[in-house]
Amino acid sequence: MFTIEHEFDATLITLVDEGDAPLREDVNVAAFANQITFDQWDPRTDTIQKITLSPEQLRDLTAALNLPEGIYRSAP
């Protein structure tokens, strides 16, 4: 399951794990014009872990999910 909200300066997506146990914490994705952030609560450290990608990195990640094993370079 996921939700999408459009804010003034970002699109916010929340990914909810509804799979088999053990379930993972929700992932919050905030897409801004110049960066995309992924936040997830880490119960082991009692902190929020954050990853920041450029739009180009997100494009490459999206493409990589649908490609076979190998080395690729995306077109500019």
pLDDT tens across 9-18, in order?
A: 999 999 999 9
Q: What does the block give as tokens for 4?
A: 């999408």
Give residue 65's pLDDT band: very low, low, confident or very high (50, 70, 90): confident
Amino acid symbol at 40: Q
Q: What is the DSSP string of 2-69?
A: EEEEE-SS-EEEEE---SSSSPPPPEEEEE-SS-EEEEEEETTTTEEEEEEE-HHHHHHHHHHTTS-S
pLDDT tens, position by position, 29-57:
999 999 999 999 999 999 999 999 999 99
Residue 28 has pLDDT above 70, yes or no: yes
pLDDT of residue 51: 97
Query: Could you give the CA distance from residue 11 to residue 47 in angstroms, rounded to a whole number?
Result: 23
Contact between 27 and 38 (Cβ < 8 Å): yes
Domain segments of the chain: what residues?
2-64
Note the pLDDT of residue 53.
Answer: 97
The β-bridge partners of 73 are none
pTM for the model stands at 0.82
